[in-house]
Protein backbone atom coordinates (compact mmCIF):
# COMPACT_ATOMS: atom_id res chain seq x y z
CA UNK A 1 0.00 0.00 0.00
CA UNK A 2 1.24 3.48 -0.84
CA UNK A 3 2.85 5.12 2.23
CA UNK A 4 1.02 8.43 1.67
CA UNK A 5 -2.37 6.67 1.53
CA UNK A 6 -1.50 4.65 4.63
CA UNK A 7 -0.52 7.80 6.50
CA UNK A 8 -3.71 9.56 5.38
CA UNK A 9 -5.75 6.68 6.81
CA UNK A 10 -3.84 6.84 10.11
CA UNK A 11 -4.19 10.61 10.41
CA UNK A 12 -7.87 10.39 9.51
CA UNK A 13 -8.55 7.78 12.18
CA UNK A 14 -6.72 9.73 14.87
CA UNK A 15 -8.32 13.02 13.76
CA UNK A 16 -11.85 11.58 13.88
CA UNK A 17 -11.24 10.36 17.42
CA UNK A 18 -9.77 13.71 18.42
CA UNK A 19 -12.87 15.63 17.26
CA UNK A 20 -14.96 13.88 19.90
CA UNK A 21 -12.96 15.43 22.74
CA UNK A 22 -14.32 18.91 22.04
CA UNK A 23 -17.94 17.86 22.62
CA UNK A 24 -17.45 17.04 26.29
CA UNK A 25 -18.22 19.57 28.99
CA UNK A 26 -15.76 20.59 31.68
CA UNK A 27 -17.99 19.15 34.40
CA UNK A 28 -17.50 15.70 32.90
CA UNK A 29 -13.74 16.10 33.22
CA UNK A 30 -14.08 16.36 36.99
CA UNK A 31 -16.10 13.15 37.33
CA UNK A 32 -14.13 10.73 35.15
CA UNK A 33 -11.99 8.31 37.20
CA UNK A 34 -8.52 7.36 35.98
CA UNK A 35 -8.62 4.59 33.33
CA UNK A 36 -12.34 3.99 33.90
CA UNK A 37 -14.42 5.62 31.17
CA UNK A 38 -15.00 4.14 27.77
CA UNK A 39 -17.43 5.90 25.48
CA UNK A 40 -18.59 2.49 24.23
CA UNK A 41 -18.81 0.90 27.66
CA UNK A 42 -22.42 -0.22 27.07
CA UNK A 43 -21.54 -2.02 23.84
CA UNK A 44 -20.09 -5.52 24.44
CA UNK A 45 -19.04 -5.77 20.77
CA UNK A 46 -16.17 -3.32 21.26
CA UNK A 47 -12.92 -3.78 23.12
CA UNK A 48 -11.96 -3.10 26.70
CA UNK A 49 -9.18 -0.83 27.95
CA UNK A 50 -7.62 -3.75 29.84
CA UNK A 51 -6.87 -5.41 26.47
CA UNK A 52 -4.31 -2.69 25.65
CA UNK A 53 -0.97 -1.57 27.05
CA UNK A 54 -1.14 1.93 28.52
CA UNK A 55 1.48 4.38 29.78
CA UNK A 56 2.78 3.90 33.32
CA UNK A 57 4.25 7.41 33.33
CA UNK A 58 2.45 10.73 32.93
CA UNK A 59 3.72 14.23 33.63
CA UNK A 60 2.85 15.29 37.19
CA UNK A 61 -0.67 16.62 37.59
CA UNK A 62 -2.23 14.84 34.60
CA UNK A 63 -5.04 12.31 34.67
CA UNK A 64 -7.35 10.66 32.15
CA UNK A 65 -9.92 13.02 30.67
CA UNK A 66 -11.62 10.76 28.13
CA UNK A 67 -11.17 7.56 26.15
CA UNK A 68 -12.43 5.67 23.15
CA UNK A 69 -11.91 1.94 22.83
CA UNK A 70 -12.63 -0.28 19.84
CA UNK A 71 -11.77 -3.90 19.08
CA UNK A 72 -8.26 -3.11 17.82
CA UNK A 73 -7.60 0.47 18.94
CA UNK A 74 -7.59 2.65 22.03
CA UNK A 75 -7.38 6.42 22.40
CA UNK A 76 -6.81 8.08 25.77
CA UNK A 77 -6.83 11.82 26.34
CA UNK A 78 -5.05 13.14 29.42
CA UNK A 79 -5.38 16.63 30.88
CA UNK A 80 -4.27 18.47 34.01
CA UNK A 81 -6.28 17.29 37.03
CA UNK A 82 -7.78 20.72 37.72
CA UNK A 83 -8.44 21.67 34.10
CA UNK A 84 -11.32 24.08 33.64
CA UNK A 85 -11.40 23.75 29.86
CA UNK A 86 -10.45 21.33 27.11
CA UNK A 87 -7.95 23.63 25.44
CA UNK A 88 -5.85 21.67 22.92
CA UNK A 89 -2.67 22.95 24.54
CA UNK A 90 -3.55 21.09 27.75
CA UNK A 91 -4.39 17.70 26.22
CA UNK A 92 -2.13 14.71 25.67
CA UNK A 93 -3.41 12.08 23.21
CA UNK A 94 -2.20 8.49 23.58
CA UNK A 95 -3.27 6.14 20.78
CA UNK A 96 -2.56 2.46 20.16
CA UNK A 97 -3.67 0.36 17.20
CA UNK A 98 -3.21 -3.38 17.20
CA UNK A 99 -2.67 -5.46 14.07
CA UNK A 100 -6.13 -5.38 12.46
CA UNK A 101 -5.30 -7.40 9.37
CA UNK A 102 -5.64 -4.20 7.33
CA UNK A 103 -3.55 -1.06 6.96
CA UNK A 104 -2.02 -1.26 10.44
CA UNK A 105 -0.84 -4.78 9.62
CA UNK A 106 1.29 -3.47 6.75
CA UNK A 107 2.61 -0.54 8.79
CA UNK A 108 3.61 -2.78 11.71
CA UNK A 109 5.21 -5.38 9.43
CA UNK A 110 7.40 -2.73 7.80
CA UNK A 111 8.57 -1.36 11.16
CA UNK A 112 11.50 1.01 10.71
CA UNK A 113 11.12 0.88 6.92
CA UNK A 114 7.66 2.45 7.22
CA UNK A 115 9.08 5.30 9.31
CA UNK A 116 11.89 5.89 6.80
CA UNK A 117 9.44 5.91 3.89
CA UNK A 118 7.08 8.26 5.71
CA UNK A 119 9.87 10.68 6.63
CA UNK A 120 11.23 10.65 3.05
CA UNK A 121 7.79 11.49 1.59
CA UNK A 122 6.81 14.10 4.19
CA UNK A 123 7.05 17.83 3.55
CA UNK A 124 8.31 18.12 7.14
CA UNK A 125 10.79 15.24 6.98
CA UNK A 126 13.57 17.60 7.99
CA UNK A 127 12.05 18.00 11.48
CA UNK A 128 11.52 14.26 12.04
CA UNK A 129 14.01 12.03 13.84
CA UNK A 130 14.03 8.23 13.63
CA UNK A 131 15.41 6.50 16.71
CA UNK A 132 14.61 3.58 19.06
CA UNK A 133 12.61 3.29 22.26
CA UNK A 134 13.25 0.12 24.26
CA UNK A 135 14.68 -1.50 21.11
CA UNK A 136 11.64 -0.62 18.99
CA UNK A 137 11.67 1.68 15.93
CA UNK A 138 10.31 5.13 16.70
CA UNK A 139 10.00 8.59 15.17
CA UNK A 140 9.52 11.99 16.80
CA UNK A 141 9.14 15.67 16.03
CA UNK A 142 8.73 18.82 18.11
CA UNK A 143 5.70 21.08 18.00
CA UNK A 144 5.86 23.91 15.51
CA UNK A 145 4.01 25.88 12.86
CA UNK A 146 3.17 24.86 9.32
CA UNK A 147 1.15 26.40 6.50
CA UNK A 148 -2.40 25.21 5.98
CA UNK A 149 -3.01 25.68 2.26
CA UNK A 150 -6.46 25.78 0.67
CA UNK A 151 -6.45 25.34 -3.09
CA UNK A 152 -8.70 24.45 -6.00
CA UNK A 153 -8.30 21.19 -7.93
CA UNK A 154 -6.39 23.08 -10.63
CA UNK A 155 -3.74 24.08 -8.06
CA UNK A 156 -4.86 27.69 -7.60
CA UNK A 157 -4.06 28.66 -4.01
CA UNK A 158 -7.03 30.28 -2.28
CA UNK A 159 -5.61 30.75 1.21
CA UNK A 160 -2.44 30.13 3.20
CA UNK A 161 -2.71 30.26 6.96
CA UNK A 162 -0.08 29.35 9.58
CA UNK A 163 -1.31 26.69 12.04
CA UNK A 164 0.32 25.12 15.08
CA UNK A 165 0.91 21.39 15.27
CA UNK A 166 1.78 19.39 18.40
CA UNK A 167 4.91 17.42 19.19
CA UNK A 168 4.45 13.73 18.42
CA UNK A 169 6.17 10.40 18.96
CA UNK A 170 5.41 7.14 17.12
CA UNK A 171 6.60 3.69 18.16
CA UNK A 172 6.14 0.38 16.34
CA UNK A 173 6.17 -2.89 18.28
CA UNK A 174 6.74 -5.59 15.66
CA UNK A 175 6.77 -8.36 18.32
CA UNK A 176 3.40 -7.58 19.93
CA UNK A 177 2.09 -6.20 16.61
CA UNK A 178 1.10 -2.70 17.74
CA UNK A 179 1.50 0.92 16.61
CA UNK A 180 1.68 3.57 19.35
CA UNK A 181 1.54 7.33 19.17
CA UNK A 182 1.47 10.12 21.72
CA UNK A 183 1.04 13.80 20.91
CA UNK A 184 0.67 17.06 22.75
CA UNK A 185 2.06 20.53 23.29
CA UNK A 186 4.84 19.30 25.56
CA UNK A 187 8.58 18.87 25.03
CA UNK A 188 9.12 15.86 22.77
CA UNK A 189 11.40 14.36 25.47
CA UNK A 190 8.41 14.23 27.83
CA UNK A 191 6.27 12.50 25.21
CA UNK A 192 9.11 10.02 24.64
CA UNK A 193 9.06 9.17 28.37
CA UNK A 194 5.30 8.59 28.22
CA UNK A 195 5.42 6.23 25.23
CA UNK A 196 8.54 4.52 26.59
CA UNK A 197 6.61 3.60 29.75
CA UNK A 198 3.95 1.63 27.88
CA UNK A 199 3.46 -1.77 29.44
**Domain definitions of the chain by residue range:** 3-196
Is residue 64 within 8 Å of residue 35, measured between CB atoms? Answer: yes
Residue 45: the pLDDT is 46
Three-state secondary structure call for residue 143: coil
Alpha carbon of 35 to those of 8, 38, 157, 193, 194: distances in Å? Answer: 29, 8, 45, 19, 15
pLDDT tens digits along 137-163: 999 999 988 888 888 989 898 898 988
Query: What average pLDDT does the structure give for the chain?
Result: 79
Alpha-carbon distance of 40 to 68, in angstroms, equals 7
User: Over the Cα atoms of the chain, what is R_g?
Assistant: 17
Helices (H), the chain: 3-19, 26-31, 103-110, 112-121, 188-196
Average pLDDT over residues 171-191: 95
Average pLDDT over residues 18-44: 38
Alpha carbon of 118 to those of 9, 112, 138: distances in Å? Answer: 13, 10, 12
Residue 84: the pLDDT is 64
DSSP letter for 27, please: H
Three-state secondary structure call for residue 43: coil
Residue 198 scores a pLDDT above 50 = yes
Residue 20: the pLDDT is 38
pLDDT tens digits along 91-143: 899 999 999 888 889 999 999 999 999 999 998 899 999 999 999 999 999 99
Amino acid sequence: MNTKILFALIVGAVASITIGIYTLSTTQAETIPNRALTINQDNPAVGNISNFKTPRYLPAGNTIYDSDVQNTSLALWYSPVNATSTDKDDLILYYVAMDDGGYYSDLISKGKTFLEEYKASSQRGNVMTIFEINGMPAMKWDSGTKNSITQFDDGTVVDVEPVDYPAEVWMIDTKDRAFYTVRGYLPVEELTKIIGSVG
